[in-house]
Amino acid sequence: MHAHLLNASHDVSRRSWLASANPGAGDFPLQNLPFGVFREAGSPDSFRGGVAIGDQVLNLRALAGEGLLQGDAAAALQACTGDTLNGLLALGAPAWSALRHGLFDLLLDNAAEPVQQAVRRCLVPLSQIEHRLPTQPGDYTDFYTSIDHALNVGRLIFPERPLTPNFQWLPIAYHGRVSSMGVSGQRFHRPMGQSLPVGASAPVYGPCARLDYELELAIYIGPGNALGQPIGLGQAESHIFGIGLLNDWSARDHQFWEMAPLGPFLGKNFATTVSPWIVTLEALAPYRLPWSRPAEHPQPLPYLEAASNREHGAIDIQLQVWLSTAAQRQTGRSATCLSKTSFRHQYWSIGQMVTQHTVGGCNLQPGDVLGSGTVSGPAPGEAGAIIELTEGGRKPLDLGHGEKRTFLEDGDMISLTGWCEKPGYARIGFGQCRGEVLPAVGS
């Protein structure tokens, strides 16, 4: 199966018998069908797999009981009946596609009335559910793959040499912490730690004073690879199930002090928030773009080159960051849009991230998460972190009504949103990735 190829499931003219699932009605039209894990809010029931469709979620455990699907689609559906999607992700692209097309057909407006009635019995309003992580990741690796982000942050620390010598030669990454990963709605306490104040000769201990967010994508691994067996770039995307939103919260003062000589530790391990829904690579096919590297830049080494990556390795995913302060919520004021950009600007592709991760023989596992790294674009309003927007805190953001921000304050809520749109195709969305900063404890 080739996730970049178009098929009937991308046809914008196809309509569903569920009115809210038709193009233009929201994030989750018939042409999307993203996967997550849910239960009815406040229910003692166990979590189970679901698919967002219009303003509803399709209960996949209940659907399996209806016996409407056969063959590979039925086997893939059965893998969604537990409290994690790891089993589905392990099955691979042919099974994923069979299930997606099976669900698509059940929801089409020409489905038989008994089929429609059976599927209706499996629908739950999105407004009445709660989520958990869509997979149980064994590992989480966060990349650093936006050259615009690297330049913006690098200029704050090393103005004469903002890019490290390796950035243009390989997708850089560090291994993150799965235990502190949470789903949208996550609330976390401002972290404690060490930092070195400007001009000081010794560090101080205390709550983070330079708390930041990072606008990223979560890349979900499907079938893994055996230990010692790298994944070539031409096959890398067959190991990717889909993409969600991810906020890599960052304690900048702690991070910059501890990153000498090793990578992020306490500056990153206190919280990571992901969106509830995974949009499949197949659903993203209409929004694929050629991946390119400026001719004057170093070109990838052969193991990070493939014709398929050059032809369709980039994805045009529109992304926004919203800040809602405690004062805004208390007075009924709207959240502030801090930035907007697109994943198409990323310097390294999702396939290159997978290949680089495994080139030394590291074995990925179904359900693992790769963070794309902060997504920043070339224009000033496209920065994916507040440290970029405020130039390290030197230029506060004016939120109006007397509120300013250099870094995040207690009570601040950050929401990431994403969508894809293109003339002739349905607009599909990623839902929301929201997290809230609580006051520090132990100070």
- Dump pLDDT digits (tens) for 224-275: 999 999 999 999 999 999 999 999 999 999 999 999 899 999 999 999 999 9
Average pLDDT estimate for 327-333: 97
Q: Which of 10, 101, 131, 149 is catalytic?
A: 149
Contact between 149 and 385 (Cβ < 8 Å): yes
Taking the model in full, what pTM does it have? 0.97
Q: What would the two tokens of residue 84 be?
A: 């994690």
Mean pLDDT, rounded, of the chain = 97
Domains and CATH numbers, the chain: 8-131 (2.30.30.230), 140-438 (3.90.850.10)
Q: Confidence band (pLDDT; 50, 70, 90) for 366?
A: very high
**Is 149 in the active site?**
yes
| Whole-number percent of the chain with pLDDT over 90 | 96
Q: What would the two tokens of residue 72 be?
A: 């590979």
Average pLDDT estimate for 151-173: 94
- Tell me what pLDDT residue 151 has: 96
Residue 335 above 60 pLDDT?
Answer: yes
Q: What is the C-alpha to C-alpha distance for residues 319 and 340, in angstroms, rounded to an integer? A: 6
